[in-house]
Structure 1
Amino acid sequence: MKQTLPDSLILPGHPDYDLLTEIAGEITARAGGAMELASRFPAMLRTCIDDVIMTPKTGRRAYEELEKTEKTYIGTRVEIELRALLRLPRGRLDTEVLGRDMDIKNTMGSNWMIPTEALDQVCLLVAADEARARCYLGLILARPDYLTAGQNKDAKRSVSAMGFGHILWLLRDHPYPANFWRSLPEETVTRIFSGATGNERMARLFRLVQGRPVDRDVVEAVAQQKDFMRRIRSDKGRGTRDILEREGILLLSGQYDGQLIRALDLPACPASAFVSCQPETEQHRRMALQAGFDLPRA
């Protein structure tokens, strides 16, 4: 998405103000309030993208590796998930809000393509900027004056530079969960995946990425095995946790080790995630020992 966007002109007195603010209020209410929308919408976007990349099954780690048809499907997936999130019905277009048809348009680029059937209709605009991990959610009444004069072979037109000012933003330049692999140096990613076995790859993952929660999906992608959770547990001295423990590194589960994670001042770790660390103070080492970890002497 464009990093520089004009301020919204959707203010009292604007011809679209009453309609768009009414629909925005309904969308926000259906999400459970502004805070819930700001929390649930970004997480939904991350899931939609990751479920198409399918790193555990395909080995792909980025949106750019998708086929053209898969990139198109992300828009369909966003439409389906957004209707479910907001409990919206199907309509003549994509959905219906307050008895009014509405199109849902998604982009991973810098603009949206508006079809002829959506002209003069309200469009719910969704955008994800993977490189910056920022997302957008806005409403526009797709008046022809807000769209470009040119169109593609399907007669679709994009929002003009002037038209961007007529978007009412619900979320603008809002953070959403980053693609895990984009956040690591390429050298680190290469070292992790060069391990010959699932245990070796996971040990490298938690050895090289410490103090940061790692989701279950990432663990599955690294293990590349059906019973990947077995690899992460203690396994008669052979599991990833055993390997790291002998090196003085703790591998903690958000589900089972929450109390120790908090005591060690580590970031909040969801129940489905894991975090590793190497205790550096004697107090932290004692906490780990009391929790049942057998660390080598410092």
Structure 2
Amino acid sequence: MTDSAPKPPLPAPGDVCTPDPRPGRVREAHDLTAPDHDDELQQVYAWLALSPVERAFTRAVDDAIRYVLDGSRTGRFDLMSPDVDSDERASVGTKLQYRILNELNLVKEPPLDTTILGIPVELKATVRSNWMIPTEGQCEICLLVQVDPAGARHRAFLMRTHRAWLRDGANKDGKRGVVSAALVQYALPILDWTPLPPEPLKRLTQPQLDVVFAPRAGQTERLTALFGYLPNVIMPRSSIETVCAGNRDPMRRARQAKPLVAGRHGLTLLCGTWREDLELATSRGFDISGDAWVALTPEALVRPETA
């Protein structure tokens, strides 16, 4: 058995880059420039460095995933579930572009997806291991966001995606992936792997899920079981709506579960919409702002200074 042929060296700054032809636009060959000497890239990078990218991207990714799952209608809460097909999973990237623009107070405008400091920027997001760069994004500044649904995390880079740093193989639309070695050498990290907000429903075992999502049981009964299974776990409104998918007024049903949660499980159910509950939860180290809920054990209710 003979060894496979060695890969050609990755084009480096000073080498010539020739973009793929694109109808209606002249694409000229040019010299590759190192990121440190790319003035436009550095300007955009500096702007992003002063922006709240961790908060903005986390909210954008979480919102895009929840939008695709549509839990309040479908009862789905895990993007990696067999109930979510591959096309839906891939659509997170498309939804995410607009949410990032909104979070960073940017507008959608040509010639690419947006402009930062007057510099055109392409936004590409993926839930896979690579980004597919269209011909119009070749040799342009690209903000690359990667979502890892299985690991519940995301990260981002800024890179001028020169054609020379893209893969030779293209898909049917002419899009090309980023060469992994080029990403390592020539992309500027914007955000390292960052966790997404936890989805507490993922903590349930299959038998527990069968109870919480039992089709013939009432909402109040199922929510009572949910809070009993997950004491001292903050439950966002979206999780409650997912459990009660397709039903009306799930928050009222959650309120009705308060005495049942206390009587059956010995837990104190608190809701972030009520000031007294919010203050009590906050004093015990639980942030239930934004309509979140938590069922506290007697031990968790003890004031920290007296514990």
| TM-score in terms of structure 2 length | 0.78
Give the secondary-structure state (helix, strand or coil) at the position aligned to 2:170.
Answer: coil
| TM-aligned CA distance change 1:262 to 1:96, over 3 Å | closer
Offset, 1:119: 0.8
Q: Cα deviations across residues 208-230 of structure 1 (Å, max 9, x unaligned)?
A: 01111101111111123211111
| TM-aligned CA distance change 1:188 to 1:20, over 3 Å | farther
| TM-aligned CA distance change 1:197 to 1:156, over 3 Å | same
Cross-structure match for 2:227: 206
Offset, 1:76: 2.3
Give the secondary-structure state (helix, strand or coil) at the position aligned to 2:298.
Answer: coil
- Summarize the alignment of residues 67-86 of structure 1 with structure 2, pairs less than 5 Å apart: 67-86=85-104
Q: Cα deviations across residues 73-120 of structure 1 (Å, max 9, x unaligned)?
A: 322221111112222231212112222222111101111001111111
Identity %: 28
Cross-structure match for 1:149: 168
Distance of 1:81 and 1:56 partners within structure 2: 20
- Equivalent residue in structure 2 for 1:94, among 104, 113, 128: 113
Distance of 1:184 and 1:105 partners within structure 2: 34
Contact 1:127 1:136 in 2 (8 A): yes
Aligned-partner residue type, residue 206 of structure 2: E
In terms of mean alpha carbon deviation, does 144-153 or 118-127 score higher? Answer: 144-153
Offset, 1:39: 1.7
Unaligned runs of 5+ in 1: 1-8, 234-238, 288-298
Cross-structure match for 1:184: 204
What is the aligned length? 263
Q: Cα deviations across residues 259-283 of structure 1 (Å, max 9, x unaligned)?
A: 22234x3432223100002214895
Distance of 2:117 and 2:301 partners within structure 1: 61
Contact 2:224 2:261 in 1 (8 A): yes
Offset, 1:231: 0.9
Cross-structure match for 1:133: 152
Distance of 2:244 and 2:102 partners within structure 1: 32
Contact 1:133 1:179 in 2 (8 A): no
Q: Cα deviations across residues 211-253 of structure 1 (Å, max 9, x unaligned)?
A: 11101111111123211111112xxxxx200111223211101
- 1:196 matched to 2:217? The reply is yes
CA RMSD, aligned part only?
Answer: 2.4
- Equivalent residue in structure 2 for 1:39, among 41, 50, 55: 55
- Equivalent residue in structure 2 for 1:50, among 46, 66, 85: 66
- Name segments (4+ residues, structure 1) moved above 6 Å: none
